[in-house]
Amino acid sequence: MSALAVHVGSASIEPSGLRVLRMSVADESDDDPAGGAAYAAMFEQWEADLRAMRRPARPEIRSGGIVIGSLNGVAARIYHSPALAHWARRLVSGGALANVFLPHQRRLLALGDDGSLFAGQELDEFERGFFLHAIDARGARARARIQQWLAARTLLDVNRPQAWTSVGCGAALPMVGAVADAAESGASVTAGFFDGCGDARELARRALAAAGVDPSRHRVLNWRIASREGLDGVVGPESQDLVDLVAVTDLLADGRAVELLRRGYAAVRPGGVLMFSVSLPDRPLPLMLEYGIGFAGSHPRSLEKAAAMLESAGIDVRDAMACLTPEGLHAVIEVRKL
């Protein structure tokens, strides 16, 4: 991902003790305000159509993707095209975010035999506009750019090699971008990309190479979030300068999310950083995400809930800072281990 501008708009301290930064994040869609307004109006209308339904059917998820035959009327309008229907069948996989992170690609993500990333079906104008302008696409890119920005901050005033770990890396493009930025600045970073999905791991390898980074200098490992060994099987305690759990914790129920936070924090050395995220419950267009796009796999959590999870994981909330995306969809939370 290109590292577009990230700025702090305002700051406050929540009653929970969590420090909060409200962020301004540049986006590819900024160059097409007319298209953005048109898609916003369309999605607002579809949200109204869903509200008007007494009981809209939630698209069925099976084997990580949407069953196209299960769509309600609004979801059917989104997935009317062959390319988006194909994309929907892998909606819950990390790879689904690749076209969201790189919205100007002309084809869907598919790992070509020639080592390419985007060898899939060609996207028409509606589909490219969907990846560019949908509020959840913009929100995902904002979360990713804050993630990349926070990773870059860990390199400030540091003169020794850094060790990073990205757990459940999925579409690893934000952290790949951070690794590439570090290399360009002359910093020495060795990163580990951990995922139980073979396609996600191959995507990480190819994305590193595409960013001009030698994949052999980094680790791309098969590791499942539910692994009973914790992280000790792949990284030692207090061995990492950055542990990235962004987006992974959103997919886990409270108990498993807290346990992963505990494991991740234990792997961070003093002075290092743990990152994770929450999807906020008071988001705009809530029906569109769940019943239109059909993504119902996340566990929405308030900032108060995020603070409670930190305390349950044995982490002092006063060491944490939450960065809110402009759309109000996500918070990326940085914890610095003192």
Per-residue pLDDT tens over the stretch 81-123: 889 999 998 887 778 899 999 999 999 999 899 888 999 999 9
Which stretches does DSSP call E strand in 65-179? 65-66, 162-167
Grouping H, G, I as helix, E, B as strand and the rest as coil, residue 321 is strand
Q: Phi/psi class of residue 81: alpha, beta or left (left: φ > 0; alpha: ψ in -120 to 50)?
A: beta
Is the Cβ–Cβ distance between 292 and 74 less than 8 Å? yes
**Residue 60 CA: distances (Å) to CA of 97, 136, 292:** 19, 19, 11
225 confidence band (pLDDT: 50, 70, 90): low
Q: Determine the average pLDDT of the residues in 312-316.
A: 97
Q: What does the DSSP 8-state code read for residue 24? A: E
Q: Determine the average pLDDT of the residues in 300-312.
A: 96
Grouping H, G, I as helix, E, B as strand and the rest as coil, residue 93 is coil
Residue 190: its pLDDT value, please?
95
**Residue 275 CA: distances (Å) to CA of 103, 147, 148, 153:** 25, 8, 11, 12
Please report, rounded to a whole number, the percentage of residues in the chain having pLDDT higher than 70. 97
Query: 1 pLDDT exceeds 80?
Result: no
The residue count of the chain comes to 338
Query: 297 pLDDT exceeds 80?
Result: no
Residue 168: its pLDDT value, please?
80
Query: 312 pLDDT exceeds 70?
Result: yes
Q: How far apart are CA 201 and CA 183, in angstroms?
A: 21
Q: What is the pLDDT of residues 192-218, one digit of tens each?
A: 999 888 888 999 999 999 999 999 999
Residue 236: its pLDDT value, please?
87
Grouping H, G, I as helix, E, B as strand and the rest as coil, residue 118 is strand
Which stretches does DSSP call E strand in the chain? 6-13, 19-25, 61-62, 65-66, 162-167, 189-195, 219-222, 240-244, 268-279, 320-324, 330-336
Q: What is the pairing mode between strands 19-25 and 162-167?
A: unpaired
229 confidence band (pLDDT: 50, 70, 90): low
Average pLDDT, the chain: 91
The backbone torsions φ and ψ at residue 75, rounded to the nearest 5 degrees and listed phi first, read -60, -35
Q: How far apart are CA 291 and CA 234, in angstroms?
A: 38
Q: What is the pLDDT of residues 31-68, one digit of tens each?
A: 999 999 999 999 999 999 999 998 899 898 888 788 88
Q: Per-residue DSSP letters for 234-249? A: TS-TT-EEEEE-TTTG
Residue 39: its pLDDT value, please?
96
